[in-house]
């Protein structure tokens, strides 16, 4: 099934200054590697449902912002406006127990991480993201079913050196290129499947 946009989305505007070239003093190669590894760690923690690692990837509190999307992604407060949450509350909302079970496989891929240092202990990171979710089950007659949902977009995060470790201070996710009607249908089908 091809995806078509049925909701008018605002024009894209890059959230970080792409012309912020690093001079020798700002390059900080080790820090760049650590920040990139933080994003990879964050993605794998989501994929494998590791809430302990997921929690350690963010500051306490953390700003969560999904409000730039044309369609609600989480069903939580961050869909409407940026919200600051304690670490435990963020993990409970962003990575709920039902997100991972033996019927669901999730995969997040990030690419093109672009890092701009904004201070001695802060940086912004822009990275493309693709998410695929596969859900397996059976309908009411016992016929095996499989659902696939694929989204793409970008993270525009602020990271902070916190207790000697880079962590996400502000998590901003913008998803593009999906059909909200198809996303709603997939969510509804998932709820029906969970009710069986």
Given this model, what pLDDT does residue 79 score?
Answer: 78
Helix ranges (H only) for the chain are 29-48, 51-56, 87-94, 180-195
Walk along the chain (196 residues) and give the pLDDT tens digit of each residue. Answer: 444 444 455 555 666 665 554 444 445 678 999 999 999 999 998 888 889 999 999 999 999 998 887 666 777 777 788 999 999 999 998 887 766 666 777 888 999 999 999 998 999 999 999 988 777 776 677 777 777 778 889 999 999 999 989 999 999 998 875 655 566 666 666 666 666 6
Q: What is the pLDDT of residue 15?
A: 66
Q: What is the pLDDT of residue 188?
A: 65
Pick from 41, 33, 15, 32: which is nearest to 157 by CA?
15
Residue identified by tokens 């970008």 is 154
Q: Which residues have C-beta within 8 Å of that of residue 130, sequence separation ≥ 6?
A: 108, 109, 150, 151, 152
pLDDT of residue 5: 46
104 contacts 135 by C-beta, under 8 angstroms: yes
- Output Rg (C-alpha) for the chain, integer angstroms: 18
With contact defined as beta carbons under 8 Å apart, do 2 and 181 qualify?
A: no
- pLDDT score at 124: 95
How many residues are recorded in the chain? 196
pLDDT of residue 23: 47
């Amino acid at each position: 099934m091809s995806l078509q946009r049925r909701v008018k989305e605002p024009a894209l505007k890059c959230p970080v200054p792409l012309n912020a070239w690093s001079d020798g003093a700002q390059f900080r190669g080790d820090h760049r590697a650590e920040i990139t590894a933080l994003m990879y760690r964050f993605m794998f923690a989501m994929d494998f449902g590791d809430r302990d690692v997921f929690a350690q990837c963010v500051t306490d509190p953390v700003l969560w912002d999904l409000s730039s999307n044309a369609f609600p992604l989480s069903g939580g407060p961050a869909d409407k406006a940026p919200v600051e949450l304690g670490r435990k509350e963020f993990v409970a909302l962003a990575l709920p127990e039902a997100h991972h079970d033996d019927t669901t496989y999730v995969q997040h891929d990030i690419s093109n991480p672009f890092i701009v240092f904004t201070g001695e202990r802060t940086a912004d990171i822009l990275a493309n993201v693709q998410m695929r979710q596969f859900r397996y089950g059976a309908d009411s007659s016992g016929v095996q079913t499989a659902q696939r949902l694929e989204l793409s977009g970008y993270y525009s995060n602020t990271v902070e050196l916190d207790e000697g470790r880079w962590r996400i201070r502000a998590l901003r996710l913008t998803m593009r290129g999906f059909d909200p009607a198809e996303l709603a249908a997939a969510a509804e089908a998932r709820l029906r499947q969970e009710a069986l």
